[in-house]
Amino acid sequence: MTKKIIPIINISSIVKNGFESPKSISTINKIEKACVNIGFFQVTGHGISQKNIKNVCNVGKRFFNSPEKNKIKLSPKKWNFKNKNVYRGYFPNDVNGKEGLDIGDLKVTKNYASNIKNQYIEYINLNKSIDKKSIKILSNYYDNIYDLCETLFKGIIKLYNKDIKISKKAFSRYKTLSTLRFNYYPNQSKPIEISKQDGVALGCETHVDSGIFTALYQDKKGGLQVQNRKNRKWYDVPFNKNALVVNTGRALEFLSKGKFKATNHRVLWNKKKRMSIPFFFEPSYDFRMNKSYLNSSKLNNKGMVYEKFLNLSLKKFIEYQR
């Protein structure tokens, strides 16, 4: 359906001036309303330039248009036994009808990843397949989109009248499981699934995301749909060249005691080539998932570590079945 239910929120006030001004408080309240009612919203005034986004898109296009032998150099061990990475990297389109490239924090060095001994903190040598200039573009974009998501999360913390510094207890750049992903749909000859609800052909199955927020760039071809929780109908998320699409994930739903629910979404089947670039903003692997984090004056260290929480969430996704 083309009815517009996804609000557009200009967040320039909190990006530039923090969280205390009347305009910033109004912005945070708009984010709260969107998270509660829909779980999706579009953000403008996010501070990431059109040039930066265009450069990142071009890096993705060049990579996916390169020979398969070049791309497979970055694949996890499941598809390239020479590699040590098991979580992120390149996955081919015979997995679920699309190609993908998952990238972690590029500040993580080989020695750091080796010493920390965690399955999700990986060093992937992108130089095997991607030129240095492009790697710098990816690293800059990761920094910018990470900072944006952290700003949005601090806005959520302010809603609970808590010190935004507690975000550091959940997020550490060198421990974060946050992932920058490129989804490339190369002329899908057939849908990967037919919706049991309404018979629509899908290019990506119905699902919710695992983390705190997902911040998405989608191209003009679009295809993303979100499900209204009340009437269960599906609505298009329109392309907006000045906006990024943000949605809530299961981790935020858990920490907010269900106030901010993760919302079902899907991608319609389209025979034409297209690409989307989501960023999954996820806590540190050792962060304790405890509902007191937002809801109590006292924090405790009980609860499931986020690494295990993520493991349980990823089981339904075929590309992560390692």
The string of pLDDT tens digits covering residues 145-181 is 999 999 999 999 998 888 888 888 888 888 899 999 9
For residue 312, name the pLDDT band (cuts at 50, 70, 90): confident
For residue 94, name the pLDDT band (cuts at 50, 70, 90): low
Pair of tokens at residue 155: 């806005």
The string of pLDDT tens digits covering residues 267-308 is 877 777 888 999 999 999 999 998 888 887 766 778 889 998
The string of pLDDT tens digits covering residues 106-133 is 988 888 888 887 888 888 999 999 999 9
pLDDT at 104: 92
Share of the chain above pLDDT 90, in %: 49
pLDDT at 322: 45
State the average pLDDT over residues 84-100: 81
Selection from 282, 285, 280 nearest residue 304 by Cα: 285
pLDDT at 92 over 80: yes
pLDDT at 2 over 80: no
- pTM confidence score: 0.92
CATH level 2 (architecture), domain 8-320: Sandwich (2.60)
β-pairing, 40-44 with 8-10?
Answer: parallel
pLDDT at 35 over 80: yes
DSSP state, 72? G
State the average pLDDT over residues 224-251: 89
What residues does each domain of the chain span? 8-320
pLDDT at 5: 83
The string of pLDDT tens digits covering residues 46-89 is 999 999 999 999 999 999 999 999 999 999 888 888 888 888 89
For residue 19, name the pLDDT band (cuts at 50, 70, 90): very high
- Which amino acid is located at 178 in the chain? S
Non-local CB neighbours of 89 within 8 Å, separated by 6+ positions: 74, 75, 76, 83, 101, 102, 124
CA distances to 5, 32, 98, 250 from 260, in Å: 17, 8, 30, 9
